[in-house]
Amino acid sequence: MGLGNIGMKPLLLSFILPSMAKDWPETSSIERGLVASSLFLGMLIGSFIFGTVADKIGRKSTLAITSIFAIGFTVAASFSPTPWVLMLFEMGLGFGVGGNLPVCYTLFVEFIPQKRRGFYLALLATAWSAGEVIAAAIAWGVMAEHGWRRLLQISTIPTGAILFVLPFIPESPRFLLMRMKGRRAFSILQKIGNRNRRPIPSHIEGLIPYHSTTSSGVSSRKRELLAPLKRLFNKQNRKQTVILWLMWLCASCGLLGVIIFLPDYFHAKGIGNMSIYEDIFLSTTGNVPGIIVAAFLIETRLGRKKTMAILSFLCAAFIFVLGPVSSATYLIVASAISKFFLYGLWAAIDAYTPESYSTQERSTGSAAANCWARIAGLASPPIFSALLEAQMSIWVPIGIWVALFIATGVLALLLPRETMGRDIDEVDEDNVALGSIEMMGDEEMDRQ
């Protein structure tokens, strides 16, 4: 639900930006691009701040805070009197949504067992695609008669649903153990065991007293707010972090170009006589199948790295095929195939990223990677809007996107860490129980 809500927000821009031109005819395409950039600027700031906060105050509390931010600023944006005020509120909306995304994946990965973990993580990306379809459906029914302001107001309903179900979702036991709250962690594990009619293994219960202390003797290093961020650049994580960030930057620039700006290029050239709603519905038919295929591939002998590389190269190939498009049918078919590989690629990236870090820095690591996607969101709209306004050849943006996905594939192969079959926490003297939960996971939590 949380991921579907996040998936709605960028796509809503593709409906809002053209309507802005009608409400405020004096705005240029570059100014409309800046509205999109403001959303991604907010997501950049939100990812960085709330990713670190989630590693300190918990996953559930952070999800609640970010959802409230998203609802408040979405409603405020719907009453914007000028494009500049809309930019400000879109940035606030992005602040909440940006913090929501990495925490959703972090909470999910900390509950699922090692067995087929990648499959379930990748499959979670179907929620993003579902959010896009819901956004298009709402826009189709609302935009013609009520405009973009009502569209924004209605889009807060899924976000509100998150706040409704959040009290029924337990906090991550891994996080609680890491924060020395073993009794709460054990209580949650016990409820999971009771629900699945399986007892908690005795070796788990034996570890709880070690983690139940509330003593103030915990070192200040562990309480330091920036400690998780520093761990991203320790000897074990440094190379992994840098390459992962570059991957996110390249893949995000390509994603934004294909999803948001490519349809504008073709419509500007008079290719495609269908409405934007029909275009989106038809061209997204490849999204979910691509995600499902990726979910299976990353659990095969290919693993995470090779799956990401193969999907990146195939994505580049089919985006290149879009260059000589000459009809609406050709455009829809080629777009659907390219999105098959594009969404499969992102399902694999989203599954791989939270697996790359331990519980102590997982939310921060996922959020930091997400920040590079937001940097791409900041840079891409003005650049591609300027290219559109300059009426340059379609081969210019397509060449850029193809190069970006080729770079993504090469970077995937250079990653030092293959996470398939690997515990998401490494046992060390500071965190002895976390690996034990992984042992329980395969035997017990797989039955959830």
Of 292, 76, 92, 59, the residue nearest 162 (C-alpha): 59
Query: Is residue 150 domain-shared with residue 10, that is, in the same domain?
Result: yes
How much is the average pLDDT of 431-437?
A: 42
Query: Is residue 330 domain-shared with residue 432, that is, in the same domain?
Result: no
Residue 226 counted as domain residue: no
Neighbours of 448 (CB within 10 A): 12
**In the chain, how many domains are there?**
2
Query: Is residue 182 domain-shared with residue 130, that is, in the same domain?
Result: no
Query: Is residue 103 domain-shared with residue 43, that is, in the same domain?
Result: yes
The one-letter amino acid at 9: K
Confidence of residue 358 (pLDDT cuts 50, 70, 90): confident
For the whole model, what pTM was predicted?
0.76
Query: Is residue 162 domain-shared with residue 310, that is, in the same domain?
Result: yes
Q: Which residue has the higher pLDDT, 435 or 324?
A: 324
Most confident of the ranges 26-40, 273-287, 399-413, 418-432: 399-413
pLDDT greater than 70 at residue 308: yes
Q: What are the structure tokens assigned to 150, written together?
A: 């009502």
Spatial separation of the C-alpha atoms in residues 359 and 361, rounded to whole Å: 6
Position 430 scores a pLDDT of: 42
Spatial separation of the C-alpha atoms in residues 40 and 248, rounded to whole Å: 14
DSSP 142-171: HHHHHHHHHHHHHTHHHHHHHHHHGGGSPP
Position 280 scores a pLDDT of: 63
Domain extent, residue 439, equals 173-212+427-447
Tokens 């820095």 correspond to 361
Residue 223 counted as domain residue: no
